[in-house]
Structure 1
């Protein structure tokens, strides 16, 4: 998979979130095992997972927004170049995510 194929929801996560997901997968989804590894309680780990889930859901919802669809359509029709489309979408997502925190 090259960088252009990485889903937007993954790119919206910070390094700590991605590391948490990596540990989650390697522990076969055992939040108890992750809690033990981090030296925190199960509820603390559950809260962290819930926050990551919210970030992913928010990003997926943003992909459905009319402005993002419109910018993508402009790029498909070669009315704007792909790099400009990506920059517009990322700026919009960043602003929306910052306003929702």
Structure 2
């Protein structure tokens, strides 16, 4: 029985398509840029954003507030840098209380 990793499950179809094109082009961002008809920096930015999505998904927590912040970031309702700051500050506040 094959199970899909959670980080992959939480990516949208467009992200998965990007990953497929990236792999099929042997990791060449220049080739991916050509496939999409965009510039190299645009593809680099897209890859960086995808990396952030995967990283934020990897950080496991049972805390509902942190889960909410992550979901907002994954749904593009909150940028990743802001999400990281909110999560970090929340964790620091919780440590001070404990």
TM-score (norm 1): 0.64
Q: Per the alignment, in what secondary structure is the counterpart of residue 29 of structure 1?
A: coil
Q: Which residue of 2 aligns with 1:99?
A: 72
TM-score (norm 2): 0.66
Whichever structure has more helix as a proportion of its residues is: 1
Backbone CA RMSD of aligned residues: 2.0
How far the C-alpha of 1:97 sits from its partner, in A, is 2.3
Q: In structure 2, how many angstroms separate the alpha carbons of the residues matched to 1:99 and 1:36?
A: 31
32, 35, 39: which is aligned to 2:33? 35
- Equivalent pairs, count: 73
Q: Which residue of 1 aligns with 2:16?
A: 18
Structure 2: gaps spanning 5 or more residues: 79-98
Structure 1 moving runs of 4+ over 2 Å: 95-100
Q: Which has the higher contact order (CA 8 A, sep 6+)?
A: 1
